[in-house]
Structure 1
Amino acid sequence: MHLKRFVVAILFLSSVTFIIVWQHYPTSQRLKIKNKREKSEKRPTPEETSNSQSNENQHVEQVGKRKVQNSTRSRPHILFIVADDMGWHDVGYHGSEIHTPQLDKLAREGLILNRSYVHPSCSPTRSAFLSGRLPYRIGMQRRVIPFDRSYGLPLNVTTIAQQLKSAGYSTHIVGKWHQGFCNVAYTPTERGFDTHFGFYVGSEHYFTHKVSQKLKDGRMVDGFDFRNNSKVVWNMKDVYSTHAFADETKRIVSQHNSGKPLFIYLPFQAVHGPLEVPRQYLKQYGNILDRDRRVYAGMMTAMDTAIGKVIAAFKTRNFWENTLTVFTTDNGGHNRRGANNYPLRGIKGSVWEGGTRGAAFVHGTMLHNAGQVSNELIHDVDWYPTFMEAAGMKSIESEIDGISMWKMLSQGERSRRQEIVYRIDNTSPIGMASIRINQWKLIASGDSKIPWWLSISGDNAVVLSEKDVREEPPRVNVAYLFDVDADPTERINLARERRDILEMMKARLAQLMPSYVDPLYNLHGRTTKCDPANFGGVWSPGWC
């Protein structure tokens, strides 16, 4: 008992002594000791342990004079959604009669990109997305890649998927490729994507996943085109592709390792022809008398519903708050396939605004001006460096044509882009060239492809009045100059009145020509080696 009291007394005196000494100890020294103890006693979370074991999931970013740990949590997941052949007037937030509630909600919560430009057709735009290079500089400017020509996105090009994969991202493509398939080296899983679920070519049927083409020798051939990576997926017959792509994207998200950032490139088949949609999406459009427009509207709503399911999957995994989502079309809509670009002039395949000014928006908690409309210039090549900067990667703008828009999106800065190259192709029938500098747009030699403004009625092929147009329809070798800020519908040709601007624009076009590369389309003739009969009835690599 005496021993116990003695020990208690000693402990009491020791505590009192420590308190007295501690109170007289210098404050700075006390803080150092406290911080050292807390640091040594803190146990890392499982996520921190995982991150510390994997250098590829960490990035140290220098901010001023201090270092900030930019872990996987701060690198956004990136969801890049591309609609195919969607018109300017085909989304609800642009006043369309088509119901797109999911897209409308995302657009209004995010930043609507009112001056987002793409190229006139599919393959050139997709090459720009994937490479950050202007198509005319890499030979990708001439039309879409045909099924029977042996080329694709040049193999010396590093894709955005390869870049993000090197930074630790999981990379997936779900949907349409259309960047070449004659050799397996051109296919997605050889170009930086961990997985590909979708198809290689274009214009296939949504339910059968077959496409018919006429070969060089005149034969019409059918081929199946649907794959999971390199494996043909035969059991997709009768499954609507829009539904299939949503389900696969949901599966990827549900099984994703949360310790890695995620990049999903989701290029839908919709709303490209042929016009096909499950009947359930047609019921709400009985008021649209034009059959093509009615089916097209159903296809848009089906895609909108699919996007809603994808977003729900991100939210279920608690990924959504850290997801940067971009939605854009690949080019303007085709008026003869149900689409509507009104009030813009022209259609898919043309350099008029209706063919190149794409409906687009960006969404994410990291945006500075969310809930607004941006009139800043952005081009399809710009997404490549923008995604890289968002991921905390080193800039490579000196090696590509794209300009990062990340500071514009995340900090509200002005766009650094002042120039748009719509197209440069010396080998097209009329030698097409068109550029924009600030508000000025030059069409150097006219564009005869559907130069009209089409109505917004059910019969969307009705031509509106052109009584306020100063010129006859475009002619070959006639230059057109527009102030597209003041005249976005391209009705007033100022080429005669503003010769100074016209000459300045032509001089700039001449400066761009030394970097021109002849189209790969012209360098690779047609062949019958691609015949699906040689590959078990499937459009397949192995013939170049």
Structure 2
Amino acid sequence: MKLRRIFSLLAGIGLLVGVGLAGEAAAKTPAKQPNIVYIIADDQGWADVGYHGSDIKTPNIDALASGGMRLEQFHAQPLCTQTRSALMTGRYPYRTGMQSAVIPSNGTYGLDTDERTLPQALKDAGYYTAMVGKWHIGHADQKYWPRQRGFDYHFGAVLGEIDYFTHSAHGKTDWYRDNELVREDGYATDLLGDDAVRLIREYDGKKPMFLYLAFTAPHSPFQAPEHYQARNPRITEPTRRAYAGMITALDDQVGRVVAELKKRGMLEDTLIVYQSDNGGVRSSKFAGEADVSKLVLPASNGPYRDGKGTLYEGGTRVIALANWKGHIKPGTVNNGQMHVVDVYPTLIKLAGGSLEQPKPIDGIDMGPMLTKGVPSPRTTTIYSVEPQQAAVLKDGWKLVWRTTLPSSVELFELAKDPYEQNNLAAANPAKVAELQQLVEAEAKTAAPSKFIANAFGAMMPILFGATNLPGQEGADEHDIDAIP
């Protein structure tokens, strides 16, 4: 009898130990890898979204914002190529030589092939990777194209600007599916939405999905079918009306993507991020290669100063949100600092991937900020370091420094003056000196500008005392016809 009780007791202890070990094992089991849908708009102004009070209605984007987290101090680079290279690498553009301008149609360079890209890292973590839309970080050689940089699939444009109906630039079609030229009819924004929806509909679920959906809208040329323009009847100025129609079309496609995720039962397992690549255009010199000098530029960045191409908040503080049911608290408005370089480590860590790589990253994992509401760990943001200008934000103080003659130095206390109206440089020389020293230190580590090297070629060593510059060889031998 006593032996029976002893054995019973031992069995009970074993059961408890087993349950405890099983619980510990369950606690250590990694969470299910989320699907990731990363949506990026092109040149959408900060104020040109419904939840920022726009006269352009964006119900689908607004619904993502209200159901997730608005990132109200999310900074991108001031120009397209710069932002996209930072997104793909987690590294500031001055680390990769992509810090100046954008890659022009006749540019022969691209993001170096030894840079580890976001889709490559996610593939290593077991993801199926697909890109639909605009690339613009290398087009003259296929080694720079999306399929060669980690994407299992690509449909869309590789250049920076296309006609929305002919899908062409300078008379040459720029519309590809898996490196093969595609000629088809349709409005570009609709076609990109169609393809994204198709990918979700046909998704087999064997691997988690990373879908990078990079719309060309609402970048110039300002074109939209009449039925989209008609949905903004109170907007009568012609260019603003076309621009509004472009955003309406974009918003419709966002809604279709979300609806398809819900239909497939994927929505609760999907992290959706939406951002603009830079601020809206307020100067014709940053409107692209089309002549818009006689148009009323339609984008609005609200109260923020200036726009695309500048280092002021209007050029770099962009629309951004994150939505992930059950993980990100709905209706959250987050004012913590976040930069586009932070996306790379954040997504990789949420996907259970590795950040081990040869080149260091500048991004910070913002997963705890998104999912747990902890404060942003970022206290310093480098807007840009270029030969002619730089800007940096540290501990609330922002320096905007132009070195070309006539040079200028501006200092803003951003928390008190987010619209950059009061230049405090003269009253704070020590702070100016501190931030200039930071910029100088970063400039010493910068890679040579590929844009400048490509533009000036053999003159570079004479002008800047530099040698062995990237993109220098054969710079005058290629143009848009180099695209296969």
Distance in 2 (CA, whole Å) between partners of 1:28 and 1:308 is 59
* Matches for 1:438-457 after TM superposition, within 5 Å: 438-445=395-402
Distance in 2 (CA, whole Å) between partners of 1:182 and 1:482 is 40
SS in 2 for 1:303: helix
Moved more, 369-378 or 190-199: 369-378
CA-to-aligned-CA distance 1:127-146 (integer Å, 9 cap, x gap): 00001110011100111111
- The one of 308, 313, 330 equivalent to 1:353 is 313
Shift in Å at residue 529 of structure 1? 3.4
Shift in Å at residue 500 of structure 1? 2.1
Kept after mapping to 1: 8 A contact 2:197/2:260: yes
**Percent pairwise identity:** 35
Name the structure 1 match of 2:304: 344
SS in 1 for 2:419: coil
Shift in Å at residue 22 of structure 1? 7.7
SS in 2 for 1:332: coil
Name the structure 1 match of 2:460: none
CA-to-aligned-CA distance 1:31-81 (integer Å, 9 cap, x gap): 757999x9xxxxxxxxxxxxxxxxxxxxxxxx999762226xx11111110
Name the structure 1 match of 2:135: 177
Kept after mapping to 1: 8 A contact 2:397/2:411: yes
Name the structure 1 match of 2:274: 327
Shift in Å at residue 24 of structure 1? 7.7
Name the structure 1 match of 2:261: 314
Shift in Å at residue 160 of structure 1? 0.4
Name the structure 2 match of 1:52: none
Distance in 1 (CA, whole Å) between partners of 2:367 and 2:149 is 24
- AA aligned opposite 1:540: I
* Matches for 1:465-484 after TM superposition, within 5 Å: 476-484=406-414
- AA aligned opposite 1:332: G
Kept after mapping to 2: 8 A contact 1:281/1:298: yes
Name the CA shift for 1:28/1:101 in 2 (closer, same or farther; >3 Å): farther
- The one of 233, 236, 254 equivalent to 2:182 is 233
Name the CA shift for 1:77/1:28 in 2 (closer, same or farther; >3 Å): farther
Residues 1:419 and 2:380 are matched in the alignment: yes
- The one of 375, 378, 385 equivalent to 2:338 is 378
Shift in Å at residue 407 of structure 1? 1.2
Shift in Å at residue 508 of structure 1? 1.3
Kept after mapping to 1: 8 A contact 2:105/2:480: no
Distance in 2 (CA, whole Å) between partners of 1:81 and 1:479 is 35
Kept after mapping to 1: 8 A contact 2:93/2:99: yes
Distance in 2 (CA, whole Å) between partners of 1:264 and 1:409 is 20
Shift in Å at residue 371 of structure 1? 1.3
Residues 1:257 and 2:204 are matched in the alignment: yes
- The one of 382, 391, 399 equivalent to 1:434 is 391
CA-to-aligned-CA distance 1:326-364 (integer Å, 9 cap, x gap): 100000011354211121111111111100001111111
SS in 2 for 1:442: strand
SS in 2 for 1:487: coil
Distance in 2 (CA, whole Å) between partners of 1:304 and 1:279 is 16
SS in 1 for 2:205: coil
* Matches for 1:395-410 after TM superposition, within 5 Å: 395-396=355-356, 399-410=360-371
RMSD, matched Cα = 2.4
Distance in 1 (CA, whole Å) between partners of 2:246 and 2:36 is 25
Name the CA shift for 1:28/1:303 in 2 (closer, same or farther; >3 Å): farther
Shift in Å at residue 540 of structure 1? 1.9
Number of residue-to-residue matches in the alignment = 448
Kept after mapping to 1: 8 A contact 2:385/2:442: no
Name the CA shift for 1:66/1:314 in 2 (closer, same or farther; >3 Å): closer
Shift in Å at residue 527 of structure 1? 3.4
Residues 1:518 and 2:428 are matched in the alignment: no
Name the CA shift for 1:294/1:499 in 2 (closer, same or farther; >3 Å): same
Kept after mapping to 2: 8 A contact 1:441/1:484: yes
- AA aligned opposite 1:230: N
Distance in 2 (CA, whole Å) between partners of 1:147 and 1:186 is 14
Name the structure 2 match of 1:497: 427
Shift in Å at residue 283 of structure 1? 1.5
Name the structure 2 match of 1:159: 117
Name the structure 2 match of 1:190: 148
Distance in 2 (CA, whole Å) between partners of 1:419 and 1:277 is 40
Moved more, 360-369 or 370-379: 360-369
SS in 2 for 1:271: coil
Name the CA shift for 1:476/1:108 in 2 (closer, same or farther; >3 Å): farther
Kept after mapping to 2: 8 A contact 1:275/1:337: no
* Matches for 1:282-321 after TM superposition, within 5 Å: 282-321=229-268
Name the structure 2 match of 1:219: none
Name the structure 1 match of 2:285: none
Name the CA shift for 1:67/1:290 in 2 (closer, same or farther; >3 Å): same
Kept after mapping to 2: 8 A contact 1:149/1:527: no
Distance in 2 (CA, whole Å) between partners of 1:357 and 1:531 is 32
SS in 1 for 2:441: helix
Moved more, 285-294 or 109-118: 285-294
SS in 2 for 1:443: strand
Shift in Å at residue 396 of structure 1? 4.0
Kept after mapping to 1: 8 A contact 2:65/2:321: yes
Name the structure 2 match of 1:485: 415
With structure 2 as the length reference, what TM-score do the two structures score?
A: 0.88
Distance in 1 (CA, whole Å) between partners of 2:44 and 2:4 is 72
Name the structure 2 match of 1:469: none
Distance in 2 (CA, whole Å) between partners of 1:299 and 1:248 is 18
Unaligned runs of 5+ in 1: 1-16, 39-62, 213-221, 448-474, 533-538
Shift in Å at residue 257 of structure 1? 2.2
